[in-house]
Amino acid sequence: MSRKKPMISPVRWTFLVLSLIVLLVLAVVFFKGGRRELIKPSVDVSPVEVSGQEDLPPKNKEIVLFFPAEEDSLLHPEKRRISAGSSVAGEARQAVEELIKGSAQGFLSPLPPETRLREIFITRDGTAYVDFSKEFMEKHPSGSSAELSTIYSVVNTLIYNFKPIRKVFILVEGGEKETLGGHVNLSRAFTQLDSLIAQ
Amino acid sequence: MSPDAGSIPAASTILGSRRTLKAFNERRRYRLIFLPLFFSCLVLILVASRPVIQISTRDYEGYSRVLLTLPSNLSCSLEKSDAFLQVRLRSRTVFELRQEPFESRLVKSFSWVKGSDFFGLIIELRHGGFRYESFRVERRNQLAIDFYETAFEVPPSKEEKAAAEPPRKENIPDVGEARTEGASDRGVSGGTKIRTIVIDPGHGGLEVGAKGKFGSLEKDITLAISLKLQSLIERNLGFQAVLTRDRDIDVSLDNRAGVANNHHAELFVSIHANSSLRRNASGSETYFLSLNATDEEARRLAYLENTTAQLEKPLDNENKDDIMMILWDMAQSAYLKQSQRLAEIIQEELNTLLGTADRGIKQAPFKVLTAVACPAVLVEVAFISNPDEEKKLTTEAFQEMIAQAIFQGIARYVKLIS
């Protein structure tokens, strides 16, 4: 190390410059990256939220799932029991997972069986965000009718069974997708489509 | 890093050795330099977070609209000089301009100047032959400026024409024609003559669409039918028929709608082959857009539908403006009634000509239809997922029949509105 000459050693200089760069990068990331804010699950305020139901005996609740059938292009109801008492989001999660498992009455499977439900949350305005794993898109056969059956089996099931849910927004791997397989628009929330329900 | 930079030694050890004392002094110097650096970073951050003006630019029939979204309800004045229009905002701050990518026949670029007591947003146009009208959209702090071409001496540049529709060179002269016609039409009567029909062969490129059991791809079948439909229209209807793609390439869904809107298309027909989860689903169906609206949205849209003219009467420009403002990205919602009529007519022709099962007309939220600013339908000609129909779909004769049916539907609709 030299005596008094350099005010700051070269090591310090590089340290300073590096920290400056890091700060700048942080600033850029903060201001440019912050605009495209993802919907946070923290807004999940479902009105029927009940906490600490551990002491209550697990109750069953009957819901209606909608499945596509071989004989026509409509969605057919199938009753299913899920455990009640958790939050709306918790019940909705069970409903979608039952849809993924498929029908017990021989209806068609609306979702690829490999699909995982990553997350489901309900915002204050009644929109349920349903976040599927990538298999939801990748294993889907594509095509207008197929896409409509898939989407509306989820949408109609959720809106039909859960009062607080008025719209359903479908995400894949945590993000918004343009379409499912080139046809049905995923960049807007879905409302119930009664014309697809049998009877 | 030097060993003494990391941890803070206790005071006694600092006093204990000359070496550590020197290090301590160095650290102070380092702080002296670091603090200003830190504050300059803060200043940079503040500059980076200056208020934003959102700019979106769109072309409509006869005019181009620039929509400025201001951070607050600032007062402003407009000043024209040559090919520039300056929007002066009474504000000392420097705004950040955030532009949506655009393609306009009149608007060229945006820049800004800073005066002592104003911020000037400068809109550069392609030439000085224009007049403008501006109005405010109060609730949203928006300022809309419409530019109209007044002089004809400067024709749109070649690059501009090419940029409007790169994949189809043979259409370029027609593009220009459609534009000038559109501009003159607006002044005279705004008649319902059909000039351009846009045909959209579904999918393409890496995006293959649905697949059949025998390996045929939706994208190939849609293209084959669309090419046949194009020549039928151009030979027999005397209208320009523009394809959103004429070969096996990727075209984004937004750009497909963009082709229709850039050409001021009168009709948009998207051709698809269907696929179902059911093995034996079969038949033809025609879709128009469903908006997926909740009750209150539906009420708002009902207002629009009431202000939208019926089939016989085209949209007058005032109403069109309203709709454009409210539904920037949902242009199709203003044309649902016409689209439904078009779907009905095409479906009737498919039923009579094809002998496939009639699946009727349906509504669905298809992405490709949302931004199309004219009557638009999506035809699912038959099921590629059904082995029998897949075989038929690959034959020249069946494709020809489909094209003929859709053509007759279009021809009937055209006759109906003219």
State how beta strands B196-201 and B267-274 pair. parallel
Within 10 Å of residue B278's Cβ, how many Cβ atoms? 20
Rounded CA-CA distance B143/B146 in Å is 10
State how beta strands B267-274 and B376-383 pair. parallel
Residues of A in contact with B2 (CB under 8 A): 9, 11-12
pTM of this structure: 0.59
* Average pLDDT of chain A to the nearest whole number: 84
User: Nearest Cβ partner of B292 from A30, A144, A189?
Assistant: A189
Rounded CA-CA distance A120/A129 in Å is 6
Give the dihedral of Cα atoms B18, B21, B25, B31; nearest 10 deg: 150
Is residue A177, in this structure, part of any structural domain at all?
Answer: yes
- The pLDDT tens digits of the residues spanning B54-107 come to 888 888 777 888 888 888 877 888 888 888 888 888 888 888 888 888 888 888
Is residue A33, in this structure, part of any structural domain at all?
Answer: no
Residues of B in contact with A28 (CB under 8 A): 48
- The pLDDT tens digits of the residues spanning B390-418 come to 999 999 999 999 999 999 999 999 999 87
By residue range, what is the domain housing residue A107? 42-50+58-196
The pLDDT of residue B127: 84
Q: What are phi and psi of A99, to 5 degrees?
A: -60, -40
Query: Which of A43-47, B185-189, B267-271, B304-308 has the highest average model confidence (pLDDT)?
Result: B267-271
Q: What are phi and psi of B141, to 5 degrees?
A: 50, 40
- Identify which of A28, A66, A184 has the alpha carbon closest to the alpha carbon of residue B287: A184
Query: Which of A54-68, B17-31, B150-164 has the highest average model confidence (pLDDT)?
Result: A54-68
Rounded CA-CA distance B265/B199 in Å is 10
The pLDDT of residue B321: 52
What is B160-417's CATH number, 3.40.630.40, 3.40.50.150, 3.40.50.300, 1.20.120.1200?
Answer: 3.40.630.40
Architecture of domain B52-149: Sandwich (2.60)
**Residue A196 half-sphere exposure toward CB, CA atoms < 13 A:** 26
The pLDDT of residue B178: 36
Among chain B residues, the shortest Cα distance to A144 is held by B274
Contact A11 B26 (CB under 8 A): no
Rounded CA-CA distance B414/A116 in Å is 48
The answer to whether residue B170 scores a pLDDT higher than 60 is no
Query: Which of A82-86, A166-170, B113-117, B298-302 has the highest average model confidence (pLDDT)?
Result: A166-170
- Identify which of A194, A44, B418 has the alpha carbon closest to the alpha carbon of residue B410: B418
Residues B339 and B333: beta-carbon distance below 8 Å = no
Please, which residues have CB within 8 angstroms of residue B306's CB and are 6 or more apart in sequence? none
The answer to whether residue B279 scores a pLDDT higher than 70 is yes
Contact A143 B384 (CB under 8 A): yes
- Sheet containing strand B284-289, strands side by side: B240-243, B196-201, B267-274, B376-383, B284-289, B358-364
- Map out the domains of chain B as residue ranges: 3-48, 52-149, 160-417
- Identify which of B72, B74, B88 has the alpha carbon closest to the alpha carbon of residue B140: B72
Please report the ipTM that was assigned to this predicted complex. 0.71
Q: How far is B127 from chain A (nearest CA, A)?
A: 34
- The pLDDT tens digits of the residues spanning A69-91 come to 988 889 999 999 998 877 899 99
- CB of B39 within 8 Å of a chain A CB? The answer is no
Is residue A18, in this structure, part of any structural domain at all?
Answer: no
Rounded CA-CA distance B154/B294 in Å is 48
Is residue A36, in this structure, part of any structural domain at all?
Answer: no
- The pLDDT tens digits of the residues spanning B213-242 come to 999 999 999 999 999 999 999 999 888 999
Rounded CA-CA distance B229/B231 in Å is 6
Residues of B in contact with A110 (CB under 8 A): 277
Rounded CA-CA distance B138/A75 in Å is 45
Rounded CA-CA distance B329/B369 in Å is 11
State how beta strands B52-60 and B96-99 pair. parallel
Rounded CA-CA distance B24/B5 in Å is 9
Number of separate domains in chain A: 1
Q: How far is A3 from chain B (nearest CA, A)?
A: 10
Residue A41 is classified by DSSP as G
